[in-house]
Structure 1
């Protein structure tokens, strides 16, 4: 069969047939083969905030379907190396990210190697909002778990790059993105603090977010989100803890009611007073 604008091939009997398409059908066929047909493409937009957000406003990145609690992943680190650097030699727990090109890696292990490296910029009107990236990690981690004189060495120099890179001139105690990431999450959906906006945001105000999409979550079917939230004297808004408390309290109330009904129906018999310890002693005398 031979088509206009296509190739030709002989039939089994050696004859050829000719078929000519109309110009309209030719244009439609071309659009189909080039995937130019009209289609409905949903545009995802963030929800509107109808409330005033008072500074400080915390920026979190959220990852879904990311199992930081996997046994091999959690064990692939060296806490003593994070504190003492190259002075600590035994980094066998960091496999498979223990050495690269015959040299040790600081910080070693899969957790540091897979460091999250997306970045965000927030624009209000014509000016960019400042984001404070300091003091986002726990003070105890900065002062007691990451060395003040330990600097990255031979990090992300292998053939396979996992995530973000570290500035080799800055000690680990000041690399707060790494410190936040190294505190692994217990659930596959988690949030980690990215920075703090120290300006108020009014209701219905439009904030433009420029996202640098560096971190590959598509290979394992993960999802990424960005969350802006405030906190009060009780902390940030987290519905999971409240629902867990309500579910646990309701369960214990039901159990107590059940035990009360069982006690009313089948009360426990009272003990014989003659078997009390002091009565036995008097009877023996």
Structure 2
């Protein structure tokens, strides 16, 4: 190896060892810092959040007031938020009967765990109003379906109800995976986009689900939300909120900004340290055996 080749190899080695791992570590630190800061500053979009579980405690229906300080341009999205609720456990995730949700009535019912039959699910009437056989397999069954957050909302201003549609609020890729089996034997329409949104598990204990879309501007002023409480004992220890916002499917900035930063940042730091250690050892071997 001549002197020119040796010089080129040394330059490449120094750049790789001193630049790339350090750059990865710095990028990781920046992402972590950005993820932490994103939780303490306001995200640049309009949203209004109001807690209602305390107001509606021990009630079948209740009314809450919402103040819209400035005009919100359409489309405006209506979501609910739940905290202290865990969709990310193995038991919860593994109880989702995907074959049944895809329209297959012949599936392994052991997936449904203790919420298998209509009786165990606490369901008596079908979507079409027919009586459900209590010993039959519930459609759908499982912990995720049992804990479906099915409170109903209506938004009113000056005595007039504002239309909230549930069409187009679920991802198309999700809608393709849900198929009804027999509405006379189902306690819920499995193709309902509100149900579809719920059945996509959240990785965090506090999350938001899109409930509807308002295809008109909301003028500033006082609004009331009529709430019909239909959730079961799965929500006894949770906090529940209603939200108006204008950022569509990405209704939770934690999932969009904070979580990716806090996941990718540590990975880059670890990868950078491993890279630095590996090439540091290789450099020592090169010097020891005098490769150049």
Q: Same fold (TM over 0.5)?
A: yes
Map 1:51-66 to 2 at 5 A. 51-66=70-85
2: CA distance between counterparts of 1:253 and 1:69?
24
Moved more, 193-202 or 93-102: 93-102
Question: Contact between 2:67 and 2:223, CA under 8 Å: does it hold in 1?
Answer: no
| Greater Rg over alpha carbons, structure | 1
Q: For residue 84 of structure 1, report the CA deviation from its aligned partner.
A: 2.9
Structure 1: segments with no counterpart, 5+ residues: 1-41, 156-164, 259-267, 280-285
Moved more, 95-104 or 184-193: 95-104
Q: For residues 175-199 of structure 1, what are the alpha-carbon distances to aligned partners after superposition, in whole Å with 9 as ceiling and x for unaligned?
A: 2222111111111111111100111
Q: For residue 222 of structure 1, report the CA deviation from its aligned partner.
A: 1.0
Q: For residue 246 of structure 1, report the CA deviation from its aligned partner.
A: 6.5
2: CA distance between counterparts of 1:212 and 1:69?
27
Structure 2: segments with no counterpart, 5+ residues: 1-54, 56-62, 119-133, 274-282
Of the two structures, which has the highest relative contact order with CA contacts closer than 8 Å and spacing of 6 or more?
2
Alignment RMSD: 3.9
More helix by share: 2
1: CA distance between counterparts of 2:90 and 2:104?
24
Question: Contact between 1:103 and 1:154, CA under 8 Å: does it hold in 2?
Answer: no
Q: For residues 5-64 of structure 1, what are the alpha-carbon distances to aligned partners after superposition, in whole Å with 9 as ceiling and x for unaligned?
A: xxxxxxxxxxxxxxxxxxxxxxxxxxxxxxxxxxxxx9x976744332111111111111
Q: For residue 214 of structure 1, report the CA deviation from its aligned partner.
A: 2.4
> Which SS does the other structure have where 1:178 is aligned?
helix
2:153 match: 120
1: CA distance between counterparts of 2:94 and 2:147?
14
Q: For residues 179-228 of structure 1, what are the alpha-carbon distances to aligned partners after superposition, in whole Å with 9 as ceiling and x for unaligned?
A: 111111111111111100111113x4211111112224686321110010
Equivalent pairs, count: 209
2:181 match: 150
1: CA distance between counterparts of 2:161 and 2:194?
21
Question: Contact between 1:105 and 1:153, CA under 8 Å: does it hold in 2?
Answer: no
Q: For residue 235 of structure 1, report the CA deviation from its aligned partner.
A: 5.2
Question: Contact between 1:77 and 1:111, CA under 8 Å: does it hold in 2?
Answer: yes
1: CA distance between counterparts of 2:137 and 2:266?
52
Q: For residue 250 of structure 1, report the CA deviation from its aligned partner.
A: 8.3
